[in-house]
Structure 1
Amino acid sequence: MPAYKVIYFDARGRAEPTRMMLAHAGQEFEDVRYTSEEWAKNKATTPMQQLPLLMVDSRPIPQGRAMHGFVAREYGLNGANNEETTKIDIIIATLEDIFDPLGRILFYEKDEEKKKKDLEAFYNEKSLKFLDALEKFLVFNKGGDGFFIGDKITRADIVFYCGAEAYGRDDVLQKYPKLFALKGRVAQDKKIAAYLEKRPVTSF
């Protein structure tokens, strides 16, 4: 059995789907969280001089999507066939359409007044068409009272949960009751619940 190490900062961010998938799979892993000083010392040793990074024994896997894709394929979380895997890819791409622009507003907009206006437009307008699409994807699978694909948690559900946490506005998410309920179901998974209970508390 390979040894897994997830390397990131002390945050959920782009490492959290990989952490949660490993937890759901029952796979032990070392959760390495660099301080800025530690990162400065180790940056040059990483393949792309950026984090997150997954180490599988001595093999480095950079890039968050590649990391959780690798784990999903290893542990049967990436769909049972090509059709299911493609649906998972569509859902993850839709989630990225939400959270990439949100990240740009939160972390790169320095004008606080503009940030406030951009966030208001994002939550009340721009993100809604993607949430609507995700709700329809979920409902398409047996009425939306289970998971995105099939009868069990997949990569899509875990990436959605991490995204819903990052979204940070349950008042908006509650307008999509099937999605909001899915967030709760993922959190109630026995192994994921145990992970969530012990993980470090961070702001993002």
Structure 2
Amino acid sequence: MPMASYKLHYFDVRGRAELSRYLFLAAGRDFEDNRIPQDGWSNVKPTLVYGQVPVLEVDGKQLAQSNAIARFLAREFEMGKNLAEVVYPKFLGYFEKQLENNGGKYLVGSGLTVADLSVYAVLDTAVQKSETFLEKNEKLRAHRDMVGAIPKIQEYVSNRKKTDI
């Protein structure tokens, strides 16, 4: 069976396509990284499924929305083992170092930011699946506990429907 061809459409910035680029690279898979120049956007926009990017073409079929693309690629490349053994430890180390460099409480600045909430959200499924997931990452575990102790977040998480992802 021939290998699928992949074309990732996004602007010439990291943004919402960067995770998908990382997934291709971590899996060692080839893809066309179509970086749309600002002056070419008006020509590309009408050709896209929702008129927005990122879009991943798989053998010519379009898949939109950054999180959907990332989940698709992770499943496609069977990233579970690689995520657990290579990717997660690497990025958990980055997050811990960032916490340490910023005084230990917040990832950026002196108060809660979208960075803190993003890391909390991105680790949600892994922590839900394994109570020991952060056992080697004391600073990150304390950070997660702090974010999770925000009353409205704590209430939401404790009352939300249990799902796999």
Q: TM-score, normalised by structure 2?
A: 0.55
**C-alpha displacement at 1:77, in angstroms?**
2.0
Match of 1:59? Answer: 61
Contact 1:3 1:29 in 2 (8 A): yes
Q: Number of paired residues?
A: 112
Matched, 1:141 2:107: no
- Other-structure match for 2:89: none
Partner of 1:50: 52
> 1:30 offset after TM fit, Å?
0.7
Q: TM-score, normalised by structure 1?
A: 0.45
Give, in whole Å, the separation in 2 of the partners of 1:41 and 1:130. 33
Q: What RMSD, in angstroms, separates the aligned Cα atoms of the two structures?
A: 3.8
* Residues 178/77 of structure 1: CA separation in 2 closer, same or farther (3 Å cut): farther
Task: Find the partner of 1:125 among 112, 115, 124.
Answer: 112
Quote the Cα distance in structure 2 between the aligned partners of 1:3 and 1:12.
21
Please, which of 31, 34, 37 is the counterpart of residue 33 of structure 2? Answer: 31
Identity of aligned residues (%): 32
Runs of 4+ in 1 over 4 A off after TM superposition: 126-136
More helix by share: 1
Is contact 2:5-2:31 (8 Å) kept? yes
CA deviation after TM superposition for structure 1 residue 38, in Å: 1.1
Report the structure number with the largest CA radius of gyration. 2
Which structure 1 segments of 5+ residues have no match? 85-118, 146-174, 180-204
Is contact 2:7-2:58 (8 Å) kept?
yes
Structure 2 spans left out of the alignment, 5+ residues: 85-107, 144-165
